[in-house]
A = this chain, B = another copy of it.
Amino acid sequence: MLKIDRAKFDPIEKSDFPEIVERKGIGHPDSVCDAAADACSRALCRYYFENFGRYYHHNVDKAALVGGISKPELGGGLIIEPEYFLIVGRAINQIMRENKLEYIPVAPICLDACRQVVGNVFRNIDMTSNNHIQFDYAVRPGSIDLTGVFEESDAMEQIPLANDTSFGVGYAPFSDVEKITLEAENLLNSGAFKDKCPASGEDIKVMVQRVDKNVDITVCGAMVSKYCNDKDAYVNATNQMKDAVLDLAVKIIPEKNCTCSVNVGDNVEAGLLYLTITGTSAEAGDDGEVGRGNRSNGLITPCRTMSLEAVCGKNPINHVGKIYNVLSTEIAREIVEKGQGDIIEAHVKLLSQIGRPITDPWVNSISLIPADNVSFDSIKKIAEEVSRNRLSQEYLIDLRERLIAGKVQVF
């Protein structure tokens, strides 16, 4: 049931409620959980496929990152208790093949995936010991019931059936505020910037607010104590971050007036600094879960329609909670691109029904905002075509492969 209409609301750039956008950077405890959970799903997919020639049921979309206890100081400090990361979920762990039980090493697969994520994200976490972080798993086999649906639709040449009644939503394009939010974090966590400013840790939260043309960018970044031997070094580093963000803003959203503050909670004189040893607040009691941070497009956008579904850790075969959120964003982006300027905004909502082929959503609703003087009918056709194409089996298998390869943004 494809339904395409003209959006009743104003484009985001013209709405007069303050636009608010947030991104929890890759080192934020919630983002770490997201990344690790998704890495587990991808690793399980690869293992199943390499060893059994097909995918098996799994859902590892829960985790707890228990923050540690630390006493950072200018120039160093002490980790008193390590962080503790627990991956939680379900995965088939034994398969009867020719009357013989074969075992899937779910625990090492998941532990490895989680470790690699943490090792890749944090430059200053000691991964040669467990002094900074411990890894644990609670991934158990699922109930027979739940796996039933999966079994029937597993063959790759078949169209998988939705595992649930679930809702996905996407839109395009990003507003200026959304752009700067995402790109500022990307920049501050890039290798190039870290080379210049090693004192900036990976746990960076970017909150951006816009009223009319005025954009306030607030960056909250855990600083790495060993690179801050004194307060001056600390202040220099936060200033570097601020300057980098403002430079970027001038480039990518030149039409807005931007300000930027970094670590507004600090009181430098009183010695209240946002210091960490490892570059993340998780070292000192800030905790994380899967699905509590960025949506699958990388942002938290309370002014947009959002799905509560946690995308990370869900299987990319038949879990519509994952597939439809990613897919609706891809559809919206393709529509806008194909519109070549004729389409100001595209909003896509997909609703599955349990047991229905994922190529055939129960509700498939697209809202478009045409550019001035553009006829709705002309852009409607574009949307129709894009939607049909993106919901084809070929495209969904391609999307699955990209998800498994880790090539799609999911948080």
Establish whether residues B70 and A143, one from each chain, have CB atoms under 8 Å apart when the complex forms.
Answer: yes
Establish whether residues B286 and A143, one from each chain, have CB atoms under 8 Å apart when the complex forms.
Answer: yes
Establish whether residues B63 and A64, one from each chain, have CB atoms under 8 Å apart when the complex forms.
Answer: yes
Q: Which residues of B contact A167 (CB under 8 A)?
A: 20, 302
A332 at interface by CB-CB < 8 Å: no
Q: Which of B112, B138, B143, B365 contacts A66 (CB 8 A)?
A: B138
A257 to B124 alpha-carbon distance, docked (Å)? 60
A376 at interface by CB-CB < 8 Å: no
The residues in A between 62 and 82 inclusive whose CB is less than 8 angstroms from any CB of B are 62-64, 66-71, 78-82
Establish whether residues A108 and B82, one from each chain, have CB atoms under 8 Å apart when the complex forms.
Answer: yes
The segment from A129-137, A192-200, A335-343 found at the interface with B is A129-137
Establish whether residues B285 and A67, one from each chain, have CB atoms under 8 Å apart when the complex forms.
Answer: no
One digit per residue, 1 when the CB lies within 8 angstroms of any chain B CB and 0 when it does not, for chain A 134-174 equals: 11101011110110110000000000000001010100000
Q: Which of B69, B71, B134, B273 contacts A134 (CB 8 A)?
A: B134
Establish whether residues A142 and B284, one from each chain, have CB atoms under 8 Å apart when the complex forms.
Answer: yes
Q: Which residues of B contact A307 (CB under 8 A)?
A: 302
Q: Which residues of B contact A355 (CB under 8 A)?
A: 264-265
Q: Which residues of B contact A207 (CB under 8 A)?
A: 165
A46 at interface by CB-CB < 8 Å: no
A165 to B208 alpha-carbon distance, docked (Å)? 11
A300 at interface by CB-CB < 8 Å: yes
Establish whether residues B285 and A143, one from each chain, have CB atoms under 8 Å apart when the complex forms.
Answer: yes
Q: Which of B5, B64, B108, B303 contacts A131 (CB 8 A)?
A: B108
- Copies of this subunit: 4
Q: Which residues of B contact A81 (CB under 8 A)?
A: 105, 107-108, 140
Q: Which of B67, B105, B112, B354 contacts A140 (CB 8 A)?
A: B67
A98 to B94 alpha-carbon distance, docked (Å)? 18
A16, A140, A149, A363, most chain B CB atoms within 10 A: A140
Q: Which residues of B contact A66 (CB under 8 A)?
A: 62, 88, 138, 140
Q: How far is the CB of A48 from chain B (nearest CB, A)?
A: 14
The residues in A between 360 and 406 inclusive whose CB is less than 8 angstroms from any CB of B are 363, 365
Establish whether residues A17 and B143, one from each chain, have CB atoms under 8 Å apart when the complex forms.
Answer: no
Besides A69-B141, A81-B108, 16 more A-B contacts (Cβ < 8 Å) are A8-B10, A17-B349, A62-B288, A64-B86, A66-B140, A68-B140, A70-B143, A81-B105, A81-B140, A111-B129, A115-B129, A141-B285, A145-B274, A145-B284, A265-B354, A302-B308
Which residues does A use to contact B, with CB under 8 Å? 3, 5, 8-10, 16-18, 20, 62-64, 66-71, 78-82, 84, 86, 88-90, 99, 101, 103, 105-108, 111-112, 115, 128-131, 134-136, 138, 140-143, 145-146, 148-149, 165, 167, 169, 207, 209, 218, 264-265, 272-274, 281, 284-292, 300, 302-303, 305-308, 310, 349, 351, 354-355, 363, 365
Pairs across A and B, CB under 8 Å, 22 listed: A8-B9, A17-B349, A62-B288, A62-B289, A66-B138, A78-B103, A78-B105, A79-B105, A80-B105, A81-B140, A82-B108, A99-B99, A111-B130, A115-B130, A130-B130, A134-B134, A141-B285, A142-B286, A143-B285, A145-B274, A265-B354, A289-B291
